[in-house]
Amino acid sequence: MTASATTTLHPFDQAIALELQPDGHWLGHTSPAYANMVGPYGGITAAQMLNAVLLHPQRLGDPLALTVNYAAGVADGPFVLQARPARTNRSTQNWVIELLQDGQSVATATAITAKRRQTWSSDEQAPPAGPPSSEVATIELPGSLAWLGCYEMKPIKGAMPTRWDGLGQDSLSQLWVRDKPARRLDFAALTALADVFFPRIFLRRAKRVPVGTVSMTVYFHADASQLEAVGAGYLLAQARGQAFRHGFF
């Protein structure tokens, strides 16, 4: 990738860019724009790992599911991504992905891609209710973590606590969100957006505690045409903890 090409890319596309190596693996690099407290924002790491599948010449269909397990903190700098189709069936394909630095595994992932068919469909889970994005103010987070500047967020409920008094009641958050600057939605961007929620335990306990993501899963119920229809618009995002127990949630 040339320097001139890099300057025209959206910051997200720069961050997930991968270079194919002679051995069939991919070379990537962490992005300062998506820096977190320790290492990069977990959502961008997940998007980078999915991109190794999206770019793979043997890929069948589009993503159905992705699970990323964070084994250690990703250090600033280059990394290698290995993605291989473990099994290919008529309509589905199972992937194994590994992110390595200095020869050590830092994150592992599995993914399923598939050829979707035009057949019977139904949605049982209703989308959350919320006011239109035009009626919700954008939150400004000056001096915060770098990756937060990569998203435009409009909280509806369950924003970060303003009083850390240990008296939290629940962990429900709702917000409108999109890439900043605005960018058309695709599978990689949706993957990264799935991690924009701050840790649920912060809201549930209203208390700062050490925390880190150990695993996240994204199910892609929308196909490529549905994502394309969203364009660069906002997504109504909702998160809620299901159980908090024995140090994990």
Residue 196 to residue 173: CA distance in whole angstroms: 11
pLDDT digits 0-9 by tens, 154-171: 999 999 898 999 999 999
Q: What is the pLDDT along the chain (249 residues), one digit of tens a residue?
A: 544 445 689 999 999 999 999 999 999 999 999 999 989 999 999 999 999 999 999 999 999 999 999 999 999 999 999 999 999 999 999 999 999 999 999 999 999 999 999 999 999 999 999 999 999 999 988 778 999 999 999 999 999 898 999 999 999 999 999 999 999 999 999 999 999 999 999 999 999 999 989 999 999 999 999 999 999 999 999 999 999 999 999
Q: Write the CB contacts of 143 (distance below 8 Å, at least 6 apart in sequence).
A: none
Residue 95 to residue 86: CA distance in whole angstroms: 5
pTM of the model: 0.94
pLDDT of residue 101: 99
pLDDT digits 0-9 by tens, 204-227: 999 999 998 999 999 999 999 999
In this structure, CATH architecture of domain 11-115+130-239: Beta Barrel (2.40)
Do 234 and 133 contact (CB within 8 A), yes or no? yes
Within 10 angstroms of residue 94's Cβ, the number of other Cβ atoms is 16
The residue written with tokens 């903890």 in the block is 241
Residue 119 to residue 126: CA distance in whole angstroms: 20
Closest CA to 51 of 235, 198, 194, 190: 190
Give percent helix, percent strand, percent coil of the chain, each to the nearest 5: 20, 30, 45
